[in-house]
Amino acid sequence: MKLSLPEKNLSFKLTSSALFGVVVATALAAPMPALAIDVSPTAWWDVIGRDLKMDNAQFTSVGSGTFIGNTAFVNPGSPLNLSFDWIFGGATSDTSYCPGCIIQNYVAWIQPSQTVNSSAGFMSGVFSSPSSQSSGSFSWITQAPTEPGTYYIGSAATLDYVFQPDRPGTYGGPTSVGPYGNVAPFKIVVAVPGPIPFLGVASAFAYSRRLRNRVRDHKG
């Protein structure tokens, strides 16, 4: 699957305004390739010739910010509570590569994002028959990255006996036949720090200067 990069790598500069007397932190986006990510509450993945469908993707609460459906606008590090329905199984292509594999599916942050606690397993089983299918619902409490930017959550898969930690997510497709690599069921926009009052900054510098003068006079 194609892996596109979220809008990240932001730098900041301080600009002052004599008219308003404020210092503003401005986000400067580093040069990055153009993105064409479709955010949809329904997305599909091909997992070893079997369909994984995420449906009704939505945020149910956030710690600091707001959300609309499957898109959240939050402060850095905010808790996020999300949920979705899923259906897995049904052979859509050649499954001879691994007919009796134990397959694990995950909900997972698409990199670059945090790499710790970046995924949660919601299904593990053997699907040896082309008609084998399983379904359910899943909720996950995760945490937004600490750096401002736009991030996405998708899915991941492994072939193992147990769930594995911190799997990197991938984008899905709009239908069960693809194309895969441009659909994300969740979008998270982490806010840029807001305006900093100029008078507050000036007062802090003045207090620091007075404190240094007192220490110097005391030593003298």
Please tell me which residue, 194 or 54, carries the higher pLDDT value.
Answer: 54
Report the chain's terminal Cα–Cα distance, integer Å.
69
Q: Using one digit for the tens of pLDDT, what is the confidence trace for 14-61? A: 333 333 333 333 333 333 334 579 999 999 999 888 899 999 999 999
Q: Using one digit for the tens of pLDDT, what is the confidence trace for 133-192? A: 899 999 999 999 999 999 999 999 998 888 999 999 999 999 988 888 999 999 999 998
CB 86 within 8 A of CB 137: yes
Torsion sign, CA atoms 86, 101, 142, 189: negative
**33 vs 101: CA distance, rounded Å:** 37
201 phi/psi in degrees, rounded to 5: -65, -45
Average pLDDT, integer, range 2-15 = 35
Share of the chain above pLDDT 90, in %: 47
Please say if the pLDDT value at position 127 is more than 80.
no
What is the reported pLDDT for 125? 84
What is the reported pLDDT for 198? 46
Query: For the chain, how long is the longest CA-to-CA vector?
Result: 87
**32 vs 37: CA distance, rounded Å:** 14
What is the reported pLDDT for 130? 64
* CA 21 to chain centroid: 36
Write out the two tokens for 40: 């949809």
The pLDDT-based confidence of 209 (bands split at 50, 70, 90) is: low
Which of 106, 67, 108, 83 lies closest to 190, judged by CA? 67
What is the reported pLDDT for 35? 55
What is the reported pLDDT for 211? 56
Contacts of 163 (CB under 8 A, 6+ apart): 104, 106, 121, 124
Share of the chain above pLDDT 70, in %: 64
The pLDDT-based confidence of 203 (bands split at 50, 70, 90) is: low
**63 vs 78: CA distance, rounded Å:** 5
Please say if the pLDDT value at position 3 is more than 50.
no
**163 vs 43: CA distance, rounded Å:** 22
Please tell me which residue, 218 or 79, carries the higher pLDDT value.
Answer: 79
Please say if the pLDDT value at position 78 is more than 70.
yes
Domain ranges of the chain: 10-219
Please say if the pLDDT value at position 103 is more than 60.
yes
Please tell me which residue, 206 or 37, carries the higher pLDDT value.
Answer: 37
What is the reported pLDDT for 133? 83
